Structure 1
Amino acid sequence: MSTQTVMEQTAVSKSKPSTRAKIQAMGGFLTNMVLPNIGAFIAWGIVTALFIPTGWLPNEYLAKLVGPTITYLLPLLLAYTGGRMVGGQRGAVMGAIGAIGLIIGSDIPMFLGAMVIGPVGGWVIKRFDNLLENKIPAGFEMVINNFSIGILGFILLLLSYTIIGPVIEAANEMVTAAIKALVETGFLPLLSLVNEPAKVLFLNNVIDQGIYYPLGMQETLKMGKSIYFTVASNPGPGLGLLLAYTVFGNKISRRTAPGAIIIHFLGGIHELYFPYVLMKPLTIIGVIAGGMSGIATFQLFDAGLVAGPSPGSIFAYLALTPKGNFLGIILGVLVATVVSFLVTSLILKLDRKGDDEAALTESIEKSKTMKSEGKQVFHQSTADAAAKKINKISFACDAGAGSSALGATTFRRKLQKENIEGIEVKHYRIEDVPKDSDIIVVHKNLYDRTRLSFENNEIITIENYIGDPKLVKLLSDLKEQ
């Protein structure tokens, strides 16, 4: 990395965080309310797929589990988790108290409400505890702690039942009506115009966990399935793009895309194809076309899933496909793949500017320059591996369970291969990265968001989780260390 680049990155770190970074942070927060509870959502999806009247094994007695689970258990889990993220265990209890008021006062599953009231409850009790910190007389801690949650929880319960719940229910009905109108007019595929660019900018979790999953759960309760689970999670568009790069890309992309295909399509980590779109922004047209054609196919066959596929792999898709929907789901993924492949291939063949040897040579020279700049700038760019002992490297991403896990595992194996010991390499969601991390590794599009939480830590920004030059440089410096 050049001195100029270092100066530019430093300037960025001191500037006001971008709107995109703040939205990414919000999406990450929503994701981390949902991810710990995905198992419960899948359990509910399996019960629904099996025992409702149109399921694989219709059973009137066992089907009674479906309604109460989605009405009470799932929203309470979301609110409990959200409250805990903000205010610890006491925040979790406050979040659950607030959520039950929403649930009792509403006629719909309160997923959106739970995602709001949980963090609010956690924030309220956290603020209260901060105000009384070091002010509670000895021996009265338990009494004050219990009664504070009791009294504040009582107030939040009343507010959520009488005011907050109805407001959220009205907002939910507005969003639902708007999207249903889109479905009835046949324009649902147009959602890809928003979904695909948002995914590439790492805003996919805001859309999926914040909008489509709650709507999908509500529809599944009535219909036994929902197309909303498929509109942003279809692995087909990304697969088609990676296949096009495998066939028509430059030498680097042809070498790396096949590995990305396996992780994306089978592992469900969609972040793997984002750098390929960013490499040639015009290819976003290919994934948009693939997404639109996939949604149109799902609509044509009236196909849907019983729960949100997380991660969005083909295995999750097939596991959550209800009876009678396999043809539509498989064709939706296949059509999206073919369309994305054809459009992206055409773009790559027409735009050859970055596919010649000059581009490859430039990348190699850039890596050499980064390495030759030495230890004097490495402290500011790639965490000063030569100047100080590196003990902890943290890979971070939006949810801490996808691309960061892949990056950490890959880099850890490279350290083992080089017999480099004593360095802890783990993966986290951005906000959970330990403050004592010597190096934080994130995708370049998540740099601003990372700086929101880590103003003084060294951050390495990468573009690709497989063979990125900066990770090669870091490994080389660790070998010298």
Structure 2
Amino acid sequence: MVTYLLPLLIANTAGRMVYGERGGVVATIATVGVIVGTNIPMFLGAMIMGPIAAWIMKQVDKLWDGKIRPGFEMLVNNFSAGILGMILAIVGFFAFGPVMLGISAALGAAVDWLVSLNLLPLVSIIVEPAKVLFLNNAINHGASAPGAAIIQFFGGIHEIYFPYALSKPTTILALIAGGAAGVTTNMVLGGGLAFPAAPGSIIAVTAAAIGPGVANLLVVYLSVIIAATVTFLITGVILRASRKRDIAAEGDAFGAAIAQTEANKGKSSAAMDALRTSTATTAPEATPAPATTAVAAAPIETIVFACDAGMGSSAMGASVLRNKLKKAGIEGVTVTNAAIANLDGAADVVITQQQLTDRATAKSPDSLHVSVDNFMNSPKYDEVVEMVKEQRKDEE
């Protein structure tokens, strides 16, 4: 499953995000060539080959878009996808796969070299800044700032602390020191994980550490405690030393840090939206004019929250609206979440973030579309609830 299934699932998902089902199929075929050409877990290869293959399929289809004679569409589509998939699989086997194998071997050799010299803690110099700059695997979960520690520790979503580090870049030094301290503890005491803990929750860490034995689990726990303590102490020194200067500084540094995190990530998320909302409540600003939501002509029975992946942010938004409908005593309305690519036009209302509304409209043109700034806390939810209420009153 690690060698074949998981990389192919990654490739298929990436392909679908680029070019729907067709992109997913071609991405999967192409990635098979990469896997067979290396015979090692090709997660990185799947993440690169998948979207590239789907993009190439998309460009190839543009060559004869609107030029196929009626009745020959299926023939051309099937043959083009099959032939292109075959070509990309061959390229993956003979060219792309060996390159990825070489990269993996080089990275493995680098790690072995660091271990042989007892320098593995130095990896933190690269890893910790890279995490903050969002070169990591983030899932769009999150909560407001007061719950950030719980979200990171138990939920494993480290995204929640990135804006704090970006708003005060010198604190990245504390992250590096804390990470190095944790790695050093495991090296000295012989601790470690049997498999990668993903997401980085203490629950996943426990599951990965308990395999080698209870003693190993205690060592891993100690490394977590030491890493957190070192990070806390150094951060405290940094913040204390610059406290007066920070208070005197003008501008919304934290808000800018949130924006920078989103720019590094390439999109917004529930965690960032929640942080922005909690920050906005501490600073007075002009109240924008309330935006209105269009009125639905047909009875509202199904509401779908849609985002890129169909989980995380949209799931959080669906939960919020579901609770609002329940408190309003409204029954018979199904609220779900889905990926934009999977919208089938059956939803009465589709709720998306503003930058995704056009894509959602193209996938589900007959639905009523509602745009929101963030999925965690939007006044549009109350408008939707009122709309459903008014419909129910008219029916009575």
TM-score normalised per structure 2: 0.65
Cα distance per residue 1:120-162 (max 9 Å; x no partner): 3222322222222232222223322222223222222322222
Q: 1:151 to 1:137 in 2, by over 3 A?
A: same
Show the counterpart of 2:11.
79
Tell me the residue number matched to 1:148. 80
Counterpart of 1:338 (choices 229, 232, 236) is 229
What is residue 315 of structure 1 aligned with on the other side?
203
Per-residue CA distance 1:425-475 (angstroms, 9 max, x = gap) = 9888999999x867549xxxxxxxx99x99xx988589xx8xxxxx69999
Tell me how far 1:190 sits from its aligned partner: 2.1
The match for 2:48 among 113, 116, 121 is 116
**1:323 is aligned with what amino acid?**
P
The CA distance in 2 between the partners of 1:429 and 1:329, in whole Å, is 37
1:433-444, aligned counterparts within 5 Å?
A: 439-440=353-354
Distance 1:405 1:271, change over 3 A: farther
SS in 1 for 2:212: coil
In structure 2, how many angstroms separate the alpha carbons of the residues matched to 1:309 and 1:266? 12
Partner of 2:244, secondary structure, is: coil
Higher deviation after alignment, 404-413 or 331-340:
404-413
The one-letter code sitting in structure 2 at the alignment partner of 1:326 is L
**What are the superposed Cα offsets for residues 392-431 of structure 1, whole Å, 9 maximum, x if unpaired?**
997979x7755x469647864896699699x999888999
Q: Which residue of 1 aligns with 2:111?
A: 179
Aligned to 1:135, what secondary structure does the other structure show? coil
AA at the equivalent of 1:139:
G
- Residue 217 (structure 2) pairs with residue 326 (structure 1): yes
Question: Which residue in 2 is equivalent to 1:218?
Answer: none
Letter in 1 for 2:217: F
Contact 1:292 / 1:336 at 8 angstroms: preserved in 2? yes
Root-mean-square deviation (CA, aligned residues, Å) is 4.6
Q: Tell me whether 1:388 sits opposite 2:304 in the alignment.
A: no
Q: Counterparts of 2:70 and 2:190 in 1: how far apart (Å)?
A: 64
**Structure 2 CA distance for aligned equivalents of residues 266 and 77 of structure 1:** 26
Q: Is the 8 A contact 1:79 1:96 kept in 2?
A: yes
Q: 1:400 to 1:305 in 2, by over 3 A?
A: farther
Q: CA deviation at 1:277?
A: 2.7
| CA separation of 1:147 and 1:428: change in aligned 2, threshold 3 A | closer
1:95–1:369 Cα change, 3 Å: closer
CA contact (8 A) 1:367 1:473 kept: no
CA deviation after TM superposition for structure 1 residue 293, in Å: 0.8
- Please tell me whether the aligned partners of residues 305 and 314 of structure 2 are also in contact (alpha carbons under 8 angstroms): no
1:344-383 matches, within 5 Å, as 344-353=235-244, 367-371=283-287, 374-375=288-289
Which residue identity does 2:8 align to in structure 1?
L
Q: Residue in 2 aligned with 1:202?
A: 134
Distance 1:280 1:303, change over 3 A: same
Amino acid at match of 1:277: A
Equivalent residues in 2 for 1:80-479, closer than 5 Å = 80-205=12-137, 256-257=145-146, 259-321=147-209, 322-324=211-213, 325-353=216-244, 367-371=283-287, 374-375=288-289, 386-389=290-293, 404=313, 408=317, 412=321, 439-440=353-354, 460=373
CA contact (8 A) 1:286 1:344 kept: yes
The separation in 2 between residues aligned to 1:88 and 1:337, in whole angstroms, is 43
Indicate how the Cα distance of structure 1 residues 366 and 427 shifts in structure 2: closer, same or farther if over 3 A, else same: farther
Query: 2:254 aligns to what?
Result: none
1:335 CA displacement: 1.2
CA deviation after TM superposition for structure 1 residue 341, in Å: 1.9
Cα shift at 1:318: 1.1
| Structure 2: gaps of 5 or more residues | 251-278, 296-302, 361-369, 388-396
SS of residue matched to 2:28: helix
Change (3 A) 1:416 1:268: farther
CA contact (8 A) 1:105 1:165 kept: yes
Q: What is the CA–CA distance in structure 2 between the aligned matches of 1:431 and 1:189, rounded to whole Å?
A: 42
The alpha-carbon distance between structure 1 residues 204 and 87, as it changes in their structure 2 partners (threshold 3 A), is same
| Cα offsets for 1:231-290 (capped at 9, x unmatched) | xxxxxxxxxxxxxxxxxxxxxxxx954x22222211222222233334444333322221
Q: What is the rounded CA distance, in whole Å, between the counterparts of 1:354 and 1:474 in structure 2?
A: 39
**Structure ranking higher in helix proportion:** 1
Deviates more, 1:347-356 or 1:109-118: 347-356
AA aligned to 1:185 is: L
Q: 1:84 to 1:407 in 2, by over 3 A?
A: closer
Alignment partners' CA distance in 2, 1:169 and 1:140: 41
Is the alpha carbon distance of 1:264 and 1:141 closer, same or farther for their aligned partners in structure 2, counting shifts above 3 Å?
same
Contact 1:370–1:473 under 8 Å retained in 2:
no
Given residue 188 of structure 1, which amino acid in structure 2 is its aligned partner? L
**Larger RCO (CA under 8 A, 6+ residues apart):** 1
Distance of 2:245 and 2:335 partners within structure 1: 34
Aligned length: 329
| Contact persistence 2:305–2:317 (CA under 8 A) | yes
Q: Return closer, same or farther for 1:416/1:275 CA change in 2, 3 Å cut-off.
A: farther
CA distance in 1, matches of 2:74, 2:105: 42
5+ residue gaps, structure 1: 1-68, 210-254, 376-385, 442-449, 466-470
Residue number in structure 1 paired with 2:261? none
Mapped to 2, the partners of 1:458 and 1:354 lie a distance apart of 40
